[in-house]
A and B are shown apart, each in its own frame.
Chain A
Amino acid sequence: MSFFLYKPHVYGPEGVTTPDVIIDTVLKPKALDDQLVPVDQLTSQTYLQAREGSVVNAGFAQVAAGGGVILCPVMAISGGQTIFFRTAWRVEHHLKDAMKLSFGGEDGYIHAFSASPKTRCSAIVTLPRETKAPKDGGALRLEMSCSDAPVLKAVLNVSILPQANREDFDGGPAPRYSVGPTRKPVKHYI
């Protein structure tokens, strides 16, 4: 049995909860390829190293949890890896609040969001297409807003900021060995 242990911070009307959620099934929307995503391709790592020119699709995932559904931003990178962001929002026991989400970005793309749940398990419902990962660290900010969510009582603002690995300062650390406290026998325990 394989699964992905998802550790979201779920925002809702009463505050924020921090459950651990086991995800064992993920279905991409038909607009992409309508395929199951292997759960070993799921991650919540904030920083991933992707090939230059990778295509990034972004959207929301619906995660069945806690007797209802939580929404979380998702990035699907060509090649398979799929990032489930740890920031998420609870939608009470129905999906209607998620139906009117809109999605836009500074890349000039405006994507309609239409929810059509495929399964009672976790599923990515809609992903905007063909968002290119920027080269050379150019920023791509995708703002998602929920203008009509009476239960959620919130506006969803998510910034996705792809960043070139070279933005780490040049000259990464070289492996080096320390013998520890120097020049004398040591009687302590660290």
Chain B
Amino acid sequence: MKHIAYAATMQGLWLSHDDGDSWARLLTPTGGFYNEARCWCVEAHPKRPGEVLVGTDQGLYKMNPAEGRFEYIPSPMDSLHILQVARDPKDPDFIVCGTRPAELFISEDGGESWVRAPLDAATECWFINTTRVTSIQFDPRDADVIWATVEIDGVFKSEDRGKTWTLMIHGLADNDAHDLVFYDGPSGRSILASTEDSMHRSRDNALTWLQEPTDVAPFVYFRSLMQVGQNTGVVLASVGDKPSGETGMVLRSTDVGKSWSAVDLPYPPNSTIWGFGAHPADPNLIYFCTIFGQIYQSKDGGQSWAKKTRELGEIRMMTWEPKLGEPSP
């Protein structure tokens, strides 16, 4: 599928129009934001190709595909680090952003106005000083439920689209939570949570968690999770020696994490794998990035990977979307 790949780096947002082989930033004079802004997150919406959102240390931006530039979105987050941005898959105008310090800001009108949600996360942390949001997820089953993970504080759940939040950490061996995956099967729901100290599973919608060993990996620092396609039970997990780390690996499960296998990578990762990038237009086309700049691509749902030659310094997130004119899901 012809697509545009995006990489949020500590030197701006990079784009690739040729299957991830070559990368470039938008033109400095007209790109819409400072080319060396620290970009923490990038989000492509499945229903609105071209409307890519980027969170930086200088504000929130939205791609203007017609002009080929990013437009600044005024928000209360200008002076914060915008680490996560998520849009409701069913309502693209409902935007949730997560920041450092760990706060959530919600817009229900496409970024026209914002409210600060009462996340009530820890405001200070002995271990990292300032807490931060590591993931935001819209529940695939219940449209009113939103999830967030906070480093270092745990897993948060809202059942009223962000108006109230509850900390769900009973049983977590480690509150340094990074990411979540949801699977709703015949025998009920299973949620996987990646933490600084191994994988966790909940079978009661996060009321309790159980730590799960993953013997196939010599490490316990689990970072990013993703499900290949919708509710397939095929899950990818990244695990590394530590953050930022010196190496990492991808684990793949076809049974929602009951068993894992290590995926062969053609070249050793130089640091922890920080994030996967996928799009529902083609669930088998997946990117991942190491935090120190390597880019890998899979076209078979994460079974095999090719490393791209280009490296990009420090990458925090990747995604892709079909080029305009390509079929959308």
Interface residues of A in 1-49 (CB under 8 A from B): 7, 9, 14-18, 44-47
> Considering only CB atoms and an 8 Å cut-off, how many residues of chain A contact the other chain?
40
Cβ–Cβ contact A173 & B175, under 8 A? no
- Chain A residues contacting B205 (CB-CB under 8 Å) are none
Q: Identify 8 new A-B residue pairs, CB closer than 8 A, beyond the known A46-B78, A86-B78.
A: A9-B32, A45-B78, A46-B75, A169-B116, A171-B118, A178-B153, A180-B126, A181-B176
Interface residues of A in 172-190 (CB under 8 A from B): 172-184, 186-190
- Chain B residues contacting A175 (CB-CB under 8 Å) are 123-124
Cβ–Cβ contact A178 & B173, under 8 A? no
B208, CB-defined interface residue at 8 Å:
no
User: For the complex, would chain B's binding face be called helix, strand, loop or mixed by DSSP majority?
Assistant: loop
Cβ–Cβ contact B76 & A178, under 8 A? no
Cβ–Cβ contact B116 & A86, under 8 A? no
Question: Closest CB-CB distance, A43 to chain B, in whole Å?
Answer: 10
Cβ–Cβ contact A178 & B115, under 8 A? no
The contact of B30 among A17, A170, A178, A184, by CB within 8 Å, is: A17
A161, CB-defined interface residue at 8 Å:
yes
Chain B interface residue count: which class? Answer: 35 or more
- Chain B residues contacting A171 (CB-CB under 8 Å) are 118, 120, 164
5 closest Cβ pairs, A-B complex = A180-B127, A15-B30, A178-B122, A178-B125, A47-B76
- Chain B residues contacting A186 (CB-CB under 8 Å) are 127, 196
A106, CB-defined interface residue at 8 Å:
no
Cβ–Cβ contact A190 & B151, under 8 A? yes
Interface residues of A in 140-190 (CB under 8 A from B): 159, 161, 163, 167-184, 186-190
Question: Closest CB-CB distance, A81 to chain B, in whole Å?
Answer: 16
Question: Closest CB-CB distance, A182 to chain B, in whole Å?
Answer: 5
